[in-house]
Amino acid sequence: MELFFRLFSINMPLWAVTTSTAMALLAAYIICLIKGRMDLVIFIKALILEYLFIILFITIINRVPSKEYRINLIPLQSIDQINNGYIETLYEKIYNVMLFMPLGLLVGLKTSIKDAHAPTKRNILRILWRVIGYGLTTSATVEIIQFITKRGMMETDDIICNSFGYTITYLLTILLYKLFSHPKIEDK
């Protein structure tokens, strides 16, 4: 139970989350009104932008800058730390995986709804590489901003964990959507 509370002990004011989420949904609603139709994909895109803001708030805006630049580019170094008994490192890596999972869920839903056709054997690897690339790019961008602003340590392991959380959740969302979505019955 302690792990659960540690993972979610982020000092983010509730008013900031609710206000920014409400603004994102209101903007999506206004766009739908302008277009003249309600579109679930527009609402999901608004939530994706909102969650990106939450990630930036948690990882950058909410932090106090340090005096020096901090960087660790040695991949999988955290495994050694965890094996040597640094339980805090384990909590941090679990948190990093979980941080990008909602983003993978939202992007997976958007993709499933927008592209209702099932991927073919021919393009599944291309889709997988694009998904991994998006997770890596988003995570690396956050880490680079942390480094430039001195608000956290730029770590290769964070990029790996964030991308893993994003990719796994994206793929599970696509799979579950395909399994549980019902094909439209066409009148003949």
pLDDT of residue 117: 57
pLDDT at 161 (0 to 100): 94
Considering 105-114, 128-137, 157-166, the range whose residues carry the highest mean pLDDT is 157-166
Q: Of the segments 119-123, 124-128, 133-137, which one has the largest average pLDDT value?
A: 133-137
Coil, helix or strand at residue 71: strand
Indicate yes or no: pTM above 0.75: yes
pLDDT digits (tens, 9 = 90+) for 29-57: 888 888 887 788 888 888 898 889 888 88
How do the domains of the chain map onto residue ranges? 2-180
Please, what is the angle between helix 156-180 and helix 124-149, to 10°? 140
Q: What confidence tier does 23 reach under pLDDT thresholds 50, 70, 90?
A: confident
Residue 183 has pLDDT above 60, yes or no: no
For residue 72, what are the β-bridge partners? 155
What is the mean predicted confidence (pLDDT) over 2-7?
Answer: 46
For residue range 81-116, what is the model confidence (pLDDT) as tens digits? 888 988 888 898 999 999 999 999 998 888 887 766
SS3 call for 72: strand
Q: Distance (Å, rounded) from C-alpha 185 to C-alpha 130?
A: 32
- Do residues 188 and 123 lie in contact, with contact meaning Cβ atoms separated by under 8 Å? no
Residue 4 has pLDDT above 50, yes or no: no
